[in-house]
Amino acid sequence: MRTAPTEGKGVKPIVLAPTGFSASLRRIGALIKRYVYLLRSSGVRLLELIYWPFLQMLTWGFLQKYLSETTSPLAQAAGVLIGSVLLWDILFRSKIGFSTAFIEEMWARNLGNLLISPLRASELVAALSIWSIIRLSVGMVPVAFAAYLIFGFNLLDLGLALVAFFAVLVLTSWSLGLISAGVILRYGLGAEELAWSLAFLLLPIACVYYPVSVLPDWLQPVALALPPTHVFEGMRAILLEHRFEPAQLWWALGLNAVYLIIGYVTFSRFLASARVNGTLLRLGE
Amino acid sequence: MDERVKKASREESGARERDPAGDASPAKVRDLTKIYGSVTAVDRISFTLSQGTTVALLGGNGAGKTTTIAMLLGLVVPSAGEVRVFGADVSRNRGAIAHRMNFQSPYIDLPARLTVRQNLTVYAGLYGIANAAERIAYIAEDLQIAPLLERLTGKLSAGQKTRVGLAKALLNAPELLLLDEPTASLDPDTADWIRQKLKDYAETRGATLLLASHNMAEVERLADRVILLHQGRIVEDETPAALIATYGRKTLEQVFLDIVRGRAKHAVSPERKAS
């Protein structure tokens, strides 16, 4: 057992946790605990996690129901719109979870404390990423269950593909979260709007509610370069044509690897730049 | 340069990296410079903090105190020069020494929506303290914040927040404690209490303290040594008593005013400081 001296005079020594990888996990855990405490402190925050996805699911669910009663054969396909909404919400809420936790540190003027502690930048990113999944689950599980109860749409009907879709969307959300966190680190809370709006940039191009073929020819390669596009195409293939396309997933995972590297490099560069420019001294102002 | 000198220099440098304890002053700053655009915030300052001493960084607004502390903490990267803390280069190897130091400032906060105990628990985890509950109980007792532990940090008064901030800063019993205006905006009674706690901590722990302050009474009471900054440069580096005697003044405040109003007797060259 390693110990560190304290103030003496009978004050017990500090027992130090193991070093190395387990110390790293401990720091990540400590930061996640901070976010859990925060969420637990406010029932409103907890409710908000469910509120918006639930409203959105209701809106699109009723629209789906209305369309299914019309003559459009495509719209009659079960659950396409609700499926799109739920999967889009996985991407959007995960991104918001990542970014909100990061911005929260700036609002609280706590980032300085974190950055002088033994916490490493990679551990901060890991904690934000894990937290985004926890936060997402808290919001999405009840809403997915409500979609089943109200509209008979079972997200689990997507089968194992759902796990893969989930992974792809979450990985994309981390890339977006890293980029927006980096920009905010460098330019301060003035760039906060980016954290909220960056995901929406994908909404029209990632073909959430319509197939890629709807886009003009010149825009289609751009759409196919985005991992979520392959998820939504894959989902439609399962629900409309009852076929699973693994190639779509491999493309999405490959692209995600590239975007994650770009996101982490962007975050690291902007953090380094903030240290050079002295921005970290003025965070939260 | 003579090849032997180069070789000796390489060997010395290598030995220092292998064995940081070989040059393990709590802090050693050499020719430290920070330039923001056209503004030189810190201009080739050099000083060493010896173990167990309390050193005050004094200077007017914009003199470079906070930037200097930020460079010691690794929050700001120097434009030139070197910062070593316990022998480690802060810019490259902050992780190796972060658990041995800590910082308190009224300009950074702990999360307002967490209780005091939750905040301290989180930071105990970040600093790798396995017996967190025991340590928090001791610190809370010592700093008289035990009744505040279950209260939201954001609901505390300025004095209470300062004590809680200090609790976070002392949680890991740091060997090097950096303080930026530790008693700013506190009433005289609370400020006096905080000063006494800092003094006690430095003595019992044998810790090194570096504090930036505008409060001359505070500096006279706490500091063994004063480094006076003016326009980013060190203009004095003496004990408070020696400074007062040198300037023929009665208080440190009068000395400070002499210097910031351009009545300094002399500016101490970086070379002299380095020696």
- pLDDT for B271: 45
- pLDDT for A79: 67
Strand B88-89 and strand B80-85: the pairing is antiparallel
Q: Across the interface, which of A9, A16, A110 has its CB nearest the CB of B128?
A: A16
Q: Position of tokens 């079960």? A: A78
Residue pLDDT, tens place only, A193-203? 877 788 888 88
- Whether A278 and B36 lie within 8 Å, measured CB to CB: yes
Number of residues assigned to chain A: 285
d(CA A50, CA A143): 7
Q: What is the ipTM of this complex?
A: 0.84
In which band, very low, low, confident or very high, does the pLDDT at A87 lie, cut at 50, 70 and 90? confident
d(CA A110, CA A95): 21
Please give the mean pLDDT across all residues of chain A: 86
In which band, very low, low, confident or very high, does the pLDDT at A192 lie, cut at 50, 70 and 90? confident
Which structural domains are found in chain B, ordered by start?
23-107+175-274 (3.40.50.300)
| A-chain residues near B152 (CB < 8 A) | 41
Alpha-helix residue ranges (DSSP H) falling in chain B: 3-18, 65-73, 90-97, 116-126, 132-142, 158-170, 188-205, 216-222, 240-247, 252-260, 270-274
- Whether B108 and A272 lie within 8 Å, measured CB to CB: no
Looking at chain B, which residue has its C-alpha nearest residue A119?
B126
User: Which portions of chain B are predicted below pLDDT 70?
Assistant: 1-23, 263-275
Residue pLDDT, tens place only, A109-147? 899 999 999 999 999 999 999 999 999 888 888 888 888
Q: Which residue has the higher pLDDT, B4 or A1?
A: A1
- Whether B95 and A120 lie within 8 Å, measured CB to CB: yes
- Residue boundaries of the structural domains of chain A: 24-282
Strand A2-4 and strand A14-16: the pairing is antiparallel
Whole-model pTM: value is 0.85
Q: Which of B130, B110, B111, B222 is nearest to B177 (CA)?
A: B222
- pLDDT for A284: 45
In which band, very low, low, confident or very high, does the pLDDT at A66 lie, cut at 50, 70 and 90? confident
- pLDDT for B137: 95
| B-chain residues near A9 (CB < 8 A) | 204
Q: How close, in Å, is residue B275 to chain A by CA atoms?
A: 28
